[in-house]
Structure 1
Amino acid sequence: MGATRRTLVLLGAVVLAAVGAAPTAAADTTSNGVVYSVVPDVRAGVSPQGPGEWTVNYEKIAGGDPAITDAINRILDDEADGQVWLFAASASKSSPWTFHTQGRLHFRPMTISALFEGQYNAVELPNMPVDTVATRVFDSRSGIQIVWENLFVDEQAGLNRLGELTKKILPATYVTPPLGGWGEYYAGWAPVERNFRFWIPTDAGIQMYFPEGQFGREVRSITIPWSAVADLIAPAFAPITS
């Protein structure tokens, strides 16, 4: 993901709106043999504490088992709401700012994933705009979230592997290093959960997203092949590699 593709995620709503630019429906809306409809939703509002405004367009699902659908949609709503509060609380109280983000769903045989990408911009402040990314991954068989703790048989062993692979794959993916060189950002691939919190499963493997600041002034993304982590995945989630 290049520097021009800036991404930020703001989740939360002080003011809810029923209007806004609707996200485009995902091309494939089938998971676990169930066909879902993609339903657009939006959070929009203005800051009560300063000259700011935000719009969070995102997608939810309809159809299938109501218990599973409702569980997934509740978390998607929480993600949309929580980011708004996060950025609105820390945003400038004197300079105009905007936040706009888009959340899109991705469907695979046993997963439904959400990828939020957007941008925060306070034009009168330095180092703007700022891009961020956020993700959620769900098991479409049950509606539970898939996180490293349940995906890997041993979470720390999984994080160790992700750290080792990121250290190799990231510099190979981005030929031009960030300012100061990759060595300046060694803490970014340390095997701790906060360094690997944004990801979605794809056919090719685990698509990792690293927010702006973790490895320089851009959001970066790499793919970790399933074959490189297959031995660490819990048997219950083995189909995720298909």
Structure 2
Amino acid sequence: MTLEPGSTFAGYTIERRLGSGGMGSVYLARHPRLPRMEALKLLNSEHSSSTMSRTRFEREADLAARLHHPNIVAVHDRGVEGDQLWIAMQYIEGTDVAGLVAAGTNVLSPGRAVAIVHGAAKGLDHAHRFGMLHRDVKPANILVTAAPDEDSGERALISDFGIARSMEETRQLTIAGEVIATIAYAAPEQLQGHAVDHRADIYALGATLYEMLTGFHPYPRKNMIAVVTAHLEEPPPRVTTVRPQLPPEIDAVIARALAKNPQHRYDSCRDLAIAAARALSIQLPTNNRADPPPQTQRRMVHRQPTPPPRPTLPPPRPTPPPQPTRPPQQPPAPTTPPAKSRRPMWIAIAAAAVLVFIVGGVAFAMRSSSDSSTAAATSTTRAATKSSAPSTTTVAVEPAAAFTKTSIQVKGTTPNNSTYDVDLPQIEGANAAVTKEFNESIRAALQDQIDSNADQVFTLTGADSEVSHIGEHVVGGLLLTSWNAVPPGAHPSALVATVVIDTDNAQPITLDVLFADKAAGLRKLSTEAATLLPTTDAGADYFTGGIEPTEANFANWLPTPSGMEIHFTDGQVGPHAVGLIVVTIPWENLSDVLAPGIEQVVSS
């Protein structure tokens, strides 16, 4: 369907056509009742008869409508007019990064490029915290608009979640023959049809940054099969080969972002942006007033970022443990190219892609916003790499009664004049190994909350944290803080972190340790949570994205004698006004997925 200027569709008055993509066309339209313009997206008529296309089109609205963040395009409404599906989105006048790249380095300086990537990173990280992937990050899907309240004078927004999917539904590159990612920016695991997570978006953002700095795709080749081959087998390109005047440190940043192995990439999009800023000696904006803090996957996957300047937390009594440190950033280790026997598979995929490559972005004239930091308030448990496992080191067992609850007030100021004043839960006991592990884990969780916001000015307060449970074999702790922007935002954000320590071996109990098969355990948690949430303040209309079976969604858990206590963060399963939600899943309901012998530990 083609709409003419002056015509009316679903009550909207069409002003002009903004552009079109693989899924549909976008029009500038006047709202039927409010004095504002909207970007009205219609599914292309040639796809209207496709159930799959309709489902994907509806999913774009459903997923994007749950995201509320200044760096994501906002969805205002959706509907069906006759047989025509449509979505009304926030319209923001501006351009897209693809247009800036085409304009050249006189328009897109390294400083501007990094600032734009930083804004886009916040939007992507926010979506990732809710278990959502974009899967088509590219210059055409990053919009730039004037924003006088930003230090840089402009704001970057992520658009077109039309192919976004839950992290648990991302095992394939193509669906019914339709390419669902732009090959020039697609991660190797995405091209091979393997399972993907948020690190595929990090790869694509790294590829986008490379293009913004150089004006070229990372792997410019004559045909798509050659591009796929390069993504899978060739080392990441060096920015300094094209722009030798830039510092060589930026090559290490791109190399890590474009690592073949996802575990060698950055843990978050913001980590990538901050590393790029450091490499290029660029000061990122600090006035992101509306941006909630990113709490994250930071302790859920392997990472080696260079930490920002850290405030020094005062040591707990009676003896000061060493401050947790993080290893310096290292370039990714060389990855082994795919075995030759796999060549026919991905060549066939690439060939299919050439035939059916139809993906396009939302028209670049749309400019809008939505949400950024599994997780906007996902937890930061100290644990947590997938390789975590109970230590085989023998530690003298300390009876639970020997541990007592205590606390310490931690307050201070960060290098950018942010302040924190938090009461940290601590334990005391004769078993020094358990005491140290618990206390340092809680302190590390607070440090993560501070470090995660190093580029912003904020206040962090909290007096409601507690040692939630001391059992015969386990100690659990809850860190609750309140984050607010400076100057204060409309609503402070409640941040949550949990710590669970096995007192028999002084090791963290992570989800990897708790479940015999973590994927099966997460699916079980998702199912159980769905039955409990309607009885909470989240209600029957709880946000299903908040309980998708991802590690980020269920990272905040604590042991109780009766069951697994899940803490859902502010905005995760309900509107911001609902606040934190807690449900308890009985251990007997999880018995078929728990690791052997673990129930007697966590239920003690």
The match for 2:425 is 59
Deviations 1:142-172 (A, max 9, x none): 1111111111111111100001111111112
Identity across the alignment (%): 25
The match for 2:566 is 208
| Aligned partner letter, 1:237 | I
The match for 2:448 is 82
The match for 1:26 is none
Q: Is the 8 A contact 2:587 2:599 kept in 1?
A: no
Deviations 1:183-222 (A, max 9, x none): xx22211111011000101122111011112122111111
Partner of residue 480 from structure 2, selected from 103, 117, 140 = 117
Deviations 1:64-123 (A, max 9, x none): 322332233332332232222223x1433xxxx421124311212221011011211236
Partner of residue 71 from structure 1, selected from 433, 437, 452 = 437
SS of the aligned residue for 1:224 comes to strand
Q: Is the 8 A contact 2:538 2:581 kept in 1?
A: no
Q: Is the 8 A contact 1:32 1:141 kept in 2?
A: no
Please state if 1:48 is matched with 2:409. Answer: no
The match for 1:232 is 593
- The offset of 1:17, in angstroms, is 4.5
Matches within 5 A, 1:122-133: 122=485, 124-133=487-496
- Cα separation, partners in 2 of 1:80 and 1:123, compared to 1, 3 Å: closer
The match for 2:548 is 190
Counterpart CA distance in 1 for 2:445 and 2:494 is: 17
Bigger CA radius of gyration: 2
Please state if 1:241 is matched with 2:538. Answer: no
- The offset of 1:49, in angstroms, is 1.4
- Cα separation, partners in 2 of 1:13 and 1:109, compared to 1, 3 Å: farther
- Cα separation, partners in 2 of 1:125 and 1:236, compared to 1, 3 Å: same
The match for 1:16 is 313
TM-score, normalised relative to structure 2:
0.33
Q: Is the 8 A contact 1:15 1:43 kept in 2?
A: no
| Aligned partner letter, 2:313 | L
Please state if 1:147 is matched with 2:510. Answer: yes
Q: Is the 8 A contact 2:515 2:595 kept in 1?
A: yes
Counterpart CA distance in 2 for 1:155 and 1:138 is: 18
Structure (1 or 2) with the greater strand fraction: 1
The match for 2:456 is 91
Counterpart CA distance in 2 for 1:228 and 1:113 is: 21
Counterpart CA distance in 2 for 1:73 and 1:126 is: 31
The match for 2:466 is 104
The match for 1:28 is none
Counterpart CA distance in 2 for 1:241 and 1:36 is: 17
Please state if 1:169 is matched with 2:532. Answer: yes
Counterpart CA distance in 1 for 2:314 and 2:538 is: 43
Q: Is the 8 A contact 2:404 2:428 kept in 1?
A: yes
Tell me which of the two structures has the higher relative contact order, counting C-alpha pairs closer than 8 angstroms and 6 or more residues apart.
Answer: 1
Counterpart CA distance in 2 for 1:76 and 1:175 is: 28
Counterpart CA distance in 2 for 1:82 and 1:155 is: 24
Counterpart CA distance in 1 for 2:406 and 2:487 is: 36
Counterpart CA distance in 2 for 1:221 and 1:118 is: 16
| Aligned partner letter, 2:481 | G
TM-score, normalised relative to structure 1:
0.77
Q: Is the 8 A contact 1:110 1:139 kept in 2?
A: yes
| Aligned partner letter, 1:42 | Q
Counterpart CA distance in 2 for 1:76 and 1:43 is: 12
Q: Give the stretch that moved more between structures: 227-236 or 58-67.
A: 58-67
| Aligned partner letter, 1:205 | G
Q: Is the 8 A contact 2:294 2:452 kept in 1?
A: no
Q: Is the 8 A contact 1:230 1:241 kept in 2?
A: no
SS of the aligned residue for 1:235 comes to coil
| Aligned partner letter, 2:472 | P
Q: Is the 8 A contact 1:134 1:198 kept in 2?
A: yes
Q: Is the 8 A contact 1:118 1:131 kept in 2?
A: yes
Q: Is the 8 A contact 1:104 1:115 kept in 2?
A: yes
- Cα separation, partners in 2 of 1:74 and 1:123, compared to 1, 3 Å: closer
Counterpart CA distance in 2 for 1:62 and 1:241 is: 21
The match for 1:35 is 402
The match for 2:389 is none
Q: Is the 8 A contact 1:151 1:233 kept in 2?
A: yes
- The offset of 1:224, in angstroms, is 0.8
The match for 2:13 is none
Counterpart CA distance in 1 for 2:413 and 2:557 is: 30
